[in-house]
Amino acid sequence: MRRLNVALGARSYPILIGAGLLEEAEAVATLRALLPTSRVVIVSNTTVAPLYLAPLTEALRKVDAGVTPIILPDGEAYKTWESLNQIFDALLAARCDRGTTLIALGGGVIGDVAGFAAASYQRGIPFIQIPTTLLSQVDSSVGGKTGINHPRGKNMIGAFWQPKLVLADTATLKTLADREFSAGMAEVIKYGLIRDLPFLEWLELNIDGLMARDSALLAHAIERSCTNKAEVVAADEFETAKDGGRALLNLGHTFGHAIETGMGYGVWLHGEAVSAGTMMAAVLSQRLGWLATADVERVRKLLVRAGLPVVAPELGVQRYLELMSHDKKVVDGRMRLVLLKALGQGVTWADAPGAEIAAAIEGCCHG
């Protein structure tokens, strides 16, 4: 079992990483010790619950914690107020008070919705994450971002709410669909691109073993990803840094959100959209003279080997720009993008000329 600490002062918390943690005595005891009372509510979905709810409930029962399950439909389309309200209704029907701990068992959508429910139920109750997808293990489990989508934009409503503990059980990745697994790899590769060239090189060497879901390689990739994210988050918990800070984590995301929104939530997976968006950012970085053609090709090749799309949907450049202007990364009307000064060196940049942005988008919409 690997253990790392997310250092956020009074809101610091541990991440445990390993195969079989869901039922592993030490991990479950660590979880139990954090509960203020014996009451636990587990929020999961119709895909994950049949696989992991029973063993987790049984493991908790053995340490004298009582579980109330709330099962949501599966998918980004359900990251809505209605799902949030379904959780509130169940918490109120079960008369849960502030001593109740809410556990998210599932991927990023479950983590985001359950986390926002924990942040806002009675103005805040304890929250624990058990992410079961690669994306949620390397991304949403670190940083405290929670929230729901709004018809006018993704993640527009939410809160910063840190978990008390994250359990990343790599065994749950065995049941993950190939497409979901690849989507998670987009964020893993991102950490290498923005701040960790040695990790990027390690990924280039080990991508085939990772795609075969080798447990030891996976544990290393997850730990390195979480460590990178934890360092960035610790320096800028509430995303208030003017330059760099958490915004760096958004490589490919402003373009990617445009793809997700433009295609309708759920058509492209988040990681797939980030992958195509990362290509746009790499091409734009090349146009600004920062990356060589060979660098862009290294990015493209690694994404392709990870089973990810590198060609974006043809929404039309104007539509892309319009959708991107709705993104939270727009500050006082200026579009701030994360670009690459070099491989392993991300930068936030608000001065890219509009024509160059348009050309990079256009250039990535054709195979």
Question: Shortest CA distance to 53 belongs to which of 112, 109, 104, 117?
Answer: 104
- Closest approach, Cβ 117 to its own copies, in A, equals 9
Angle at 252 between CA 313 and CA 206, to 5 degrees: 100
CA-to-CA dists, residue 144 to 80, 136, 234, angstroms: 18, 12, 11
Residue choice 18, 108, 131, 158 for contact with its own copies (CB under 8 A): 158
* 64 sits near its own copies (criterion: CB under 8 A): no
Residue choice 3, 62, 98, 301 for contact with its own copies (CB under 8 A): 98
* 163 sits near its own copies (criterion: CB under 8 A): no
Which residues within the stretch 192-211 sit at the binding site for its own copies (CB under 8 A)? Answer: none
In this chain, which stretch among 62-70, 148-156, 191-199, 288-296 interacts with its own copies, using CB under 8 A? Answer: 148-156
| Whole-angstrom distance, CA of residue 169 vs CA of residue 283 | 36
Nearer to its own copies, 159 or 171 (CB): 159
Question: Shortest CA distance to 263 belongs to which of 82, 77, 74?
Answer: 77
DSSP string, 138-204: IIITSS-EEEEEETTEEEEEEEE---SEEEEEGGGGGGS-HHHHHHHHHHHHHHHHHH-HHHHHHHH
- Closest approach, Cβ 336 to its own copies, in A, equals 10
Question: Are 116 and 161 in contact, with CB atoms under 8 Å apart?
Answer: yes
In this chain, which stretch among 47-55, 260-268, 278-286, 330-338 interacts with its own copies, using CB under 8 A? Answer: 330-338
Q: How many residues bind its own copies (CB under 8 A)?
A: 39
* 245 sits near its own copies (criterion: CB under 8 A): no
* 90 sits near its own copies (criterion: CB under 8 A): no
| Whole-angstrom distance, CA of residue 147 vs CA of residue 159 | 6
* 243 sits near its own copies (criterion: CB under 8 A): no
Residue choice 325, 341, 350, 356 for contact with its own copies (CB under 8 A): 325
* 366 sits near its own copies (criterion: CB under 8 A): no
* 321 sits near its own copies (criterion: CB under 8 A): no
Residue choice 3, 25, 26, 89 for contact with its own copies (CB under 8 A): 89
Residue choice 93, 212, 294, 355 for contact with its own copies (CB under 8 A): 93
Task: Indicate the SS3 state at residue 342.
Answer: strand
